[in-house]
Structure 1
């Protein structure tokens, strides 16, 4: 009977555009109790298989295919209204953490789209980037008042209102930023509730999908933070909450308090991850996922568009304005430094200076420059840029459920999306070659017996 059902489903799907055949088939199956309606398969999110990537270049020349695909993507963002087309090759959908929320494997980080220097010149250009991301299958739009201020939420809200997309078809994430230089600083219950309400007003939305706590406030008890987040979720203003730039110890403390006070637990940690910073995402985040269900949303200096992805420009500029304060944010900018440089109009400094004073003496800049050069050479062999290779390499890590991409132009976003087609090329031999170049695979320190310390 199961074989007959499968044949009936296949025949029904092959009927395709023939309306008469569909009517006859459906009517003939009305009396069959064992028949399952095929419509239950149509409600699933469209998932593009990676198997079609090799066929993507088959039959026609690669340049012709790439040009036609580019024209389709660029023309998609010009339509004022319309439904989302099929996702770009390589776009896949995964559960964020151990929640039921399905996110695309790449999201749009709006730092450079709505941000300061290097961002879009006008709202029309920003809307074109957002539209191209949506039409390509991206359903995650990440915001942060720490990076692009209130302007990002206001402009994204206007774009979403004009486009009229179904609210269930996209996910908006924003951050509550703890800033010691702000008058309304801290993560008190008052600050969290007021921040959520103002974000809703700027976005012109009835709810926010994910609100992330951007850094821990050492002056605020963890119990107050988790209770406040549980309150805004119970009110329906927020669906989920997560963390950004938290240490594993802090995430575990928040989870423990949530369990103790019967509050909603965080589902995601947003962390930095790239070729030269791997410890936290590769060692600690998989453990947090397996133990308490916290997923990983990653970003890097290349993917958010702060550094040129061209091979000739790659080098020490990737580690620009790095704040090597601890092992969990060793390659991250501090927001205060970046904002001050943007206000002064010194993006060249923000993307080229390197601070090595706090780095391990054994890790000299010369060694990193050699690794950059070797990685760039490998990217040229693969026929891609350094930025595209970095994106594909990050997505090879199964712990990364969503990688944030940044773009100030539709051409830049298109180039980043093309990196998804590199993932099948990064086989075991290629990944081993990258490991030989980097020589920075993280490993846990050996266990030391307490008896040996006596």
Structure 2
């Protein structure tokens, strides 16, 4: 994956990676608004965060129609307009995304029908006060709508200039490949990127399932939850939930319940085991975890969340840690966590012949 860097005076230089097999460059670290804008952050605070991120080299800002029932998009739109007015940025300097699927609770106001894809996007643009978004994602696969309808609808958005690139979020490799096949058959634009969850605890899809998509189609990824909803910050060490932390908020009780489910509780103890490695590197557990994600060459950008300037600054300093993530260190983390995706004998043989592995060229 082609990369470039831009130096800044007081912060680590930002790296820019091409988004999949395209000419679009996105900052290695980006800022998203999920469970922060409106839920924890209003417009003035959001402006401080986006301005600080931009000054540190971030050019990609992620959103979705389903975040805070559209209020997240409204806040980001107000921030973008304010930044333009105060000459912090120009619209062409930003890469802005939204995602379509979780609209309103009405028969045709959610999902991936052509009607909702088009109307949902127009409504999102109105909330954001934008003429277009750079990236538009199908936020989930739709088991009801025919794939050809989905592919044609997203191409319609691009043809109308409402978006430049389209992609998927939390789709299986088989679903993405089906969409690519239909696009190729119809002479339409393929999905360029996928937005999956990826962190030290959640690896199977990015490192294993999508491997053929990177090789055959140049799929890009804009990964979310690099800190596993805060577990990989160390703030929940020994099962504690500090006041003001994400998992302590009543409005996010559903997220806490999910993380405390039987299949996920092991993550809290595992995070504690990684603290000594962070100490060895002279960084925080959050910085180690973000840098670990960024080290994967198939990750185009790591979407971060932040509710304070201090938190954002700490997370962006993970750029200094990325060069310290050596193969030996990755192996140590694999041994501690014990969840590295395993290949079948046939898959291992094929990858050996192709001279590739789950994290890129050998």
Does 2:350 correspond to 1:350?
no
DSSP-derived class of the 2:261 partner: coil
Equivalent residue number for residue 44 of structure 2: 124
Q: 1:197 aligns with which of 122, 137, 150?
A: 122
Distance 1:370 1:123 in 2: 36
Distance 1:311 1:216 in 2: 33
Equivalent residue number for residue 168 of structure 1: 92
Equivalent residue number for residue 47 of structure 1: 5
Equivalent residue number for residue 141 of structure 2: 216
Does 2:193 correspond to 1:268?
yes
Preserved contact between residue 47 and residue 79 of structure 2 (Cα < 8 Å): yes
Preserved contact between residue 98 and residue 289 of structure 1 (Cα < 8 Å): no
Equivalent residue number for residue 437 of structure 1: 336
Q: 1:193 to 1:87 in 2, by over 3 A?
A: farther
Distance 2:273 2:231 in 1: 17
Residues 82-136 of structure 1 show CA distances to partners (whole Å, capped at 9, x for unaligned) of: xxx66831411111000111101111011143142xx22x321111001001111
Equivalent residue number for residue 352 of structure 2: none
Distance 1:349 1:233 in 2: 35
Preserved contact between residue 273 and residue 336 of structure 2 (Cα < 8 Å): yes
Preserved contact between residue 314 and residue 386 of structure 1 (Cα < 8 Å): no
DSSP-derived class of the 1:111 partner: coil
Preserved contact between residue 178 and residue 187 of structure 1 (Cα < 8 Å): no
Q: 1:211 to 1:87 in 2, by over 3 A?
A: farther
Does 2:150 correspond to 1:225?
yes
Q: TM-score, length-normalised on structure 1? A: 0.68
Does 2:80 correspond to 1:157?
no
Distance 1:256 1:374 in 2: 44
Q: 2:34 aligns with which of 106, 111, 115?
A: 111
Equivalent residue number for residue 351 of structure 2: none
Preserved contact between residue 46 and residue 86 of structure 1 (Cα < 8 Å): no
Distance 1:46 1:369 in 2: 36
List alignment gaps of at least 5 residues for structure 1.
1-44, 50-84, 319-337, 449-454
Distance 2:326 2:193 in 1: 28
List alignment gaps of at least 5 residues for structure 2.
242-246, 348-362
Preserved contact between residue 226 and residue 304 of structure 2 (Cα < 8 Å): no
Equivalent residue number for residue 408 of structure 1: 307
Q: TM-score, length-normalised on structure 2? A: 0.84
Q: 1:421 aligns with which of 295, 310, 320?
A: 320
Q: 1:95 aligns with which of 3, 6, 18?
A: 18
Alignment of 1:375-414 (within 5 A): 375-414=274-313
> What's the CA shift for 1:432?
2.1
Distance 1:351 1:277 in 2: 17
> What's the CA shift for 1:370?
4.6
Residues 3-24 of structure 1 show CA distances to partners (whole Å, capped at 9, x for unaligned) of: xxxxxxxxxxxxxxxxxxxxxx
Residues 154-193 of structure 1 show CA distances to partners (whole Å, capped at 9, x for unaligned) of: 1111111121122211100100024694441221111111
RMSD: 2.7
Instruction: Please say which of residues 287-296 and 97-106 is displaced more in the overlay.
Output: 287-296
Preserved contact between residue 140 and residue 168 of structure 2 (Cα < 8 Å): yes
Distance 1:266 1:156 in 2: 25
Larger radius of gyration: 1
Distance 1:406 1:211 in 2: 19
Residues 182-213 of structure 1 show CA distances to partners (whole Å, capped at 9, x for unaligned) of: 44122111111111111121111121101100
Does 2:231 correspond to 1:297?
no
Distance 1:422 1:94 in 2: 17
Equivalent residue number for residue 253 of structure 1: 178
Preserved contact between residue 112 and residue 142 of structure 2 (Cα < 8 Å): yes
Q: 1:287 to 1:394 in 2, by over 3 A?
A: same
Equivalent residue number for residue 110 of structure 2: 185
DSSP-derived class of the 2:223 partner: strand
> What's the CA shift for 1:147?
2.8
Q: 1:308 to 1:373 in 2, by over 3 A?
A: closer
Distance 1:46 1:296 in 2: 17
> What's the CA shift for 1:310?
4.5
Q: 1:227 to 1:371 in 2, by over 3 A?
A: same
Q: 1:349 to 1:261 in 2, by over 3 A?
A: closer
